[in-house]
Structure 1
Amino acid sequence: MASDLLSIAKSGSKAARIALDITAHNIANASTDGYIRRSAKTEEIAAPGPLGSINNVSLSGVRVGGIIRNADQFRLSEVRRTTADVSRADAELSGLEKIETAVEGSRIYDGIVDFESALQHLSADPVNPSLRAAAIEAARAAASNFNVADASLKAVGDGVRFEASEGVKNANTLMEEIARVNVKMTRAPEGSSDQVALLDRRDHLLKELSGEVGVFTSVDANNMVEVRIGSSTGPVLVSQGTSATMSMQQGADGTISFEVDGAAVTVGSGALAGHEQALDEVATMQTELDDLAMSLADAVNTVQTNGSALDGTPGTAMFAGTGAGDLALAFENGALIATAPAGAEPNSRDPGNLGAMSAALETAGVAAGADKILFDISATVKGRSITRDTLATIADNATVSLQAQAGVDLDAEAVNLVRYQQAFQASGRVMQVASDLFDTIIGIR
């Protein structure tokens, strides 16, 4: 009987010590990113045996059957899903804000309005050389502003493409590491501290990967995770110990697309999706600016060629270029501005052609078009900002839900320390009782 007590007490003290070690490990890693709270899985040791048995069951104590990670797959997958969503929104919003800054900073609307104002001032005294010079300078500034807007947008595009390229590299690195962890998982004993640490590492890597591209995961019987893009039918990124290779392709208009092992894929969430959407907006904005620049040039040039310059010669085109990037003045001599109608005498004070030019600009909606571009990008940024904030709240809630289950509560761990310490002390007391029984038995004569 005494030997049975010693065996049971020994198993109890060992289980309590392991539980204390796990609790201490939890406390030490309370601030470790990606750490999932552990607990000991204890099992009763009860085996059939005739000696010292009760109803043919030998009472043999307790053992630690393994280490439990206190997190379920649903909450982990929700964190990954919401992380992918908010990462996409963040990346897109960041790109849109840069577009807004580029367009607003170029002052295209102000340049157009200033040019129209200079034409109106010139109409009051068409032969005034100072007013003609001012009109030429306003036209040059308007063209220059378009050039600045185009260059700024190209810089935005370059920056976003660089971020996307780095994101692809990071995704490939993460996929390779997940594949390596998969291989290590096959060698780790079930319920061991090694296995639990590998699971933590893998879940952390999966969350990081979700920040780049939305993923769907499934785990096989060997605890190896399969990772796909987006859904259960998406392209495979990681399978057992093998990882795919992701790449980025750039279109002629600066937009991007993605491939996995050479096959085109659609990325619906994650930062890469946000970068792709932002570059779509950059391309759209560049097209709108090109169209607006050509509207300005066409409206002015058409009227110019139908009027007369200061010396009475037929007017020539004021602007040259094919888009916002290369829009420029075709001449710098203010005397060449066709202020008078066709066939007018030299030094004519008839501002009829200037009136036609102002009307043409209004009909073409150049200033209104610039204003609309500014309004649309500002409204888009505001809307995407609201969406991002909403998704961030959802992601925060998913993280809080996971932390409630998987995070380390220092108060709870302090209680566990006392509980397991008392269990250890109680097992020691059982050992003392067993020792007393031995002494009693030995003392019987």
Structure 2
Amino acid sequence: MSDLLSIGRSGVLAYQGALQTIGENVTNADTAGYSRRSVVLKEQSTYSGAFSLNRSASAFGGVQAAGVQRVWDQYKAANAWATNSDSSNASTRLQYLSTMETMMNDTNNGVGTRLTAVFTAATQLSANPADPSLRQAFLGAINDVTTAFRTTASNLSSLSNTIGTQARVQVDQTNNALDALAKVNLSLKLAAVNSPARAQLEDQRDNILGTLSGSMAIDTSFEADGSVTVRMNNSTGPVLVSSKSTIPSQVQLQSASDGQLQISVRGEDNLVQTAIPTGGTLAGLVGAATTAADRTRQLNGMATDFVTMLHDFQTNGVTDAGIPGRDLVTGTDAASIGMAVTDPPITVADIAAATPGAAIPADPNAPAPDPNAPAPDPNAPVTPTPVQIGVANGNLLSLVANSRGSDGLEQRWKSMVTDQALQVSSAKLQDSAASTSKDTAYSALDATTGVSLDNEAAELLRFQQAYSASAKVIQTARETMQSILDLF
């Protein structure tokens, strides 16, 4: 009779724990990172000793809750983390490449449109080189190009700074996650197997791994106690967290003068390993920074070539006064390019529209030089010797003819914009594919580890019935015992 009471009691306690677990599942059905729990039930055996009326034996003595088991699929989790890395990389890359494409626009204020306006103005001026309004339009078009170069350079610089700032924030978040994971690893080593505390720690561990996978591609290796070793990129990458150490590595960020980024990992032994992230937001930021630096370098090359083109134009031609023209534009890169600041200021008379001819002969009636005059100042500017005008619009025609070929500035700008558009198009396809793969992988993981309210409702009914049955066993045992006692 005592065995019957023990069996009923064991059932009540075991199924009570199962009902509590179901309640926890339902409560956390919408909690991000929560994995469904299930109670591990097993037979409870009783043993009898070697008494005079008994023989040594074991018999079924009810049921007991051996622990709380966390429902988890490591393969599906690893696949979800990998697709999360790919998706974060693709979406970050698309975001910044699209922004760059917008900055290199070909609208009315874009560099390409303004370059075309310069050559158009030069062509119009060549048809009537003496027209002051056309000369002013030519200078205005040149000024507009320098403004477009500076604006684009400023935008690219701001974008590069934004990328660097985001990368630093991401690195800080990654290091915080590594610190937290090292602490969870230590706690897991001390947590009992199949205990609620261990299940909660494993939830925290996998949530951190999910966060890390969004920052970079990771490779994971789990120990029997639940602790994990994490490497960057793959199984041969730098160790980020070791299951055998409580001190995580530190991810470091280096930024070059042109805005390019480099990631390195400083290990527990202070050994620094440089590593290029192959996935995650950091990979997208590093790639975007490299592209921004390339675009800035290309833009600077075009700006300096524009300065050189106009310098050669002015040097090779002559003004209406028969002297070589002064520089119209100065600057060493796209950020510093601008109209030349001179005294006296640049005017339409400084445009060297014509080609030079023969030297102007000396005036035979001019007075002879004074032999007693002081020596000229060697630092004084040299006044060019005037020449006869050759073709009044010849230099303008040469400018248009020699600067608009397949390797001209317009074509180089167009090629850069086209290449950027192709990169954005490719990034959109990669982002769409990576996003779909991520959704599929996380859906598969959620189907295994997530809480289904329909399933929990069915389990609730099953364990309620089992609980009621155990209570009936106790009630029956009590009534039977009472009936026996009533016989006396």
TM-score, normalization: structure 2? Answer: 0.87
Alignment pair present for 1:258 and 2:263: yes
Within a 5 Å distance, the mapping from 1:202-221 to structure 2 comes to 202-221=205-224
Q: Which residue of 1 aligns with 2:7?
A: 8
Shift of 1:56: 3.7
* 1-structure distance, mates of 2:458, 2:47: 36
* 1-structure distance, mates of 2:93, 2:415: 21
Decide which of 243, 251, 260 is 1:246's aligned counterpart. Answer: 251
Residue 95 of structure 1 aligns with an amino acid whose one-letter code is Y
Alignment pair present for 1:78 and 2:83: no
Shift of 1:25: 0.4
After alignment, is 328-337 or 27-36 more displaced?
A: 328-337
Alignment pair present for 1:386 and 2:426: no
Within a 5 Å distance, the mapping from 1:57-206 to structure 2 comes to 57-104=58-105, 107-206=110-209
Decide which of 342, 346, 364 is 2:356's aligned counterpart. Answer: 342
List runs of 5+ in structure 1 lacking aligned partners.
none
* Aligned partner of residue 259 in structure 1, secondary structure: strand
Decide which of 400, 405, 415 is 1:358's aligned counterpart. Answer: 400
Q: Which residue of 1 aligns with 2:332?
A: 322
**Cα contact 1:304–1:357 (8 A) shared by 2:** no
Q: 1:181 to 1:53 in 2, by over 3 A?
A: farther
* Aligned partner of residue 437 in structure 2, secondary structure: helix
Percent identity over the alignment is 31
Q: Which residue of 1 aligns with 2:305?
A: 295
After alignment, is 399-408 or 216-225 more displaced?
A: 216-225
List runs of 5+ in structure 2 lacking aligned partners.
267-271, 359-386
**Cα contact 2:146–2:339 (8 A) shared by 1:** yes
* 2-structure distance, mates of 1:279, 1:310: 48
Residue 141 of structure 2 aligns with an amino acid whose one-letter code is A
Q: 1:54 to 1:126 in 2, by over 3 A?
A: farther
* 2-structure distance, mates of 1:155, 1:18: 58
* 1-structure distance, mates of 2:16, 2:286: 53
TM-score, normalization: structure 1? Answer: 0.95
**Cα contact 1:144–1:328 (8 A) shared by 2:** yes
Q: Deviations over 1:85-127 (max 9, x none)?
A: 1111122112212211222176111111111111112112111
**Cα contact 1:294–1:323 (8 A) shared by 2:** yes
Q: Which residue of 1 aligns with 2:444?
A: 401
Q: Deviations over 1:340-365 (max 9, x none)?
A: 11228778873121111011221342
Residue 129 of structure 1 aligns with an amino acid whose one-letter code is P
Select the structure of larger CA radius of gyration: 2
* 2-structure distance, mates of 1:54, 1:317: 115
Shift of 1:16: 1.0
* 2-structure distance, mates of 1:299, 1:250: 33
* 1-structure distance, mates of 2:119, 2:91: 39
Aligned residue pair count: 444
**Cα contact 2:355–2:389 (8 A) shared by 1:** no
Q: Which residue of 2 aligns with 1:411?
A: 454
Within a 5 Å distance, the mapping from 1:13-32 to structure 2 comes to 13-32=12-31
Shift of 1:297: 2.6
After alignment, is 29-38 or 434-443 more displaced?
A: 434-443
**Cα contact 2:97–2:288 (8 A) shared by 1:** yes
Q: 1:428 to 1:329 in 2, by over 3 A?
A: same
**Cα contact 2:41–2:64 (8 A) shared by 1:** yes
Higher helix share: 1
Q: 1:210 to 1:48 in 2, by over 3 A?
A: same
Q: 1:76 to 1:53 in 2, by over 3 A?
A: farther
* 2-structure distance, mates of 1:259, 1:53: 72
* Aligned partner of residue 64 in structure 2, secondary structure: strand
Within a 5 Å distance, the mapping from 1:263-274 to structure 2 comes to 263-274=273-284
After alignment, is 281-290 or 221-230 more displaced?
A: 221-230
Shift of 1:48: 4.5
Q: 1:424 to 1:63 in 2, by over 3 A?
A: same
**Cα contact 2:357–2:390 (8 A) shared by 1:** no
Q: Deviations over 1:46-71 (max 9, x none)?
A: 24536999994311111111111111
Q: 1:429 to 1:139 in 2, by over 3 A?
A: same
Cα root mean square deviation, aligned: 2.1
Residue 308 of structure 2 aligns with an amino acid whose one-letter code is D
